[in-house]
């Protein structure tokens, strides 16, 4: 781990996220009984939540014209995973996203209180989401913390 290179990598990633001009940032915390310290299990739950969200927003054909996003995976204080999801390149209205999220949480049984949707994130939000990314002296870093929608859905 190199402190200087980590700062450089975090800044580059934050700049990239900023350049996407995200419309919304969605923070997803899973219910206490569903939270996991297992990365793959947590990622599968993210896939399910986001697939359902897109289905409720775009209908059956959502996979062919889905809303692109970049998700940052973080471990909370109990070492369980949660996500900050940057939705970009869309013209979906905030009320439609809120309605769709309520449908997702109703379907899954999740509590809507664990959802935070920020339509006007600050300039610091992308930097905040890189706090668990560390780089070595060659600027290599673990990309598991960054999940791109195309990769998550295999499109």
Residue 48 parent element (H or E): helix 39-58
Q: 152: pLDDT confidence band, cut at 50, 70 and 90?
A: very high
**CA–CA separation, 69 and 28 (whole Å):** 13
Of 37-51, 105-119, 124-138, the range with the lowest mean pLDDT is 105-119
More confident site: 102 or 112: 102
At 92-111, the pLDDT tens digits run: 888 888 889 889 888 887 76
More confident site: 90 or 20: 20
Q: What is the structure's pLDDT at 95? A: 85
Percent of the chain with pLDDT over 90: 43
Answer whether residue 120 shows pLDDT above 60: no
At 5-33, the pLDDT tens digits run: 999 999 999 999 989 988 888 888 887 88
pTM given for the model: 0.88
**Which residues have C-beta within 8 Å of that of residue 141, sequence separation ≥ 6?**
6, 9, 133, 134, 135
**CA–CA separation, 33 and 8 (whole Å):** 37
**Which residues have C-beta within 8 Å of that of residue 90, sequence separation ≥ 6?**
23, 67, 68
143, 18, 4: which is closest to 72 by C-alpha?
A: 143
**Which residues have C-beta within 8 Å of that of residue 147, sequence separation ≥ 6?**
43, 46, 70, 71, 72, 73, 83
Q: What is the structure's pLDDT at 116? A: 63
Residue indicated by tokens 């927003």? 57
From start to end of the chain, where are the E strands?
Answer: 24-28, 69-75, 81-87, 115-118, 146-148
**Which residues have C-beta within 8 Å of that of residue 23, sequence separation ≥ 6?**
87, 88, 90, 91, 92, 119
3-class secondary-structure state, position 139:
coil
3-class secondary-structure state, position 86:
strand
Which whole number is the average pLDDT over 60-70? 90
């Amino acid at each position: 781990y190199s402190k200087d290179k980590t700062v450089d990598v975090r800044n580059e990633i934050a700049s990239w996220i900023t350049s996407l001009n995200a419309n919304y940032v969605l923070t997803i915390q899973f219910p206490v009984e569903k939270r996991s310290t297992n990365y793959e299990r947590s990622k599968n739950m993210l896939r399910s939540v986001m697939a359902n969200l897109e289905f409720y927003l775009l209908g059956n054909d959502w996979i062919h014209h889905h809303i692109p996003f970049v998700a940052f995976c973080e471990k909370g204080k109990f070492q369980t995973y949660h996500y900050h999801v940057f939705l970009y390149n869309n013209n979906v209205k905030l009320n439609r996203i809120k309605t769709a999220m309520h449908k997702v949480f109703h379907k899954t049984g999740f509590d809507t209180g664990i959802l935070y949707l920020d339509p006007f994130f600050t300039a610091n939000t992308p930097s905040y989401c890189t706090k668990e990314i560390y780089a070595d002296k060659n600027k290599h870093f673990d990309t598991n913390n960054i999940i791109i929608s195309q990769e998550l859905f295999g499109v």
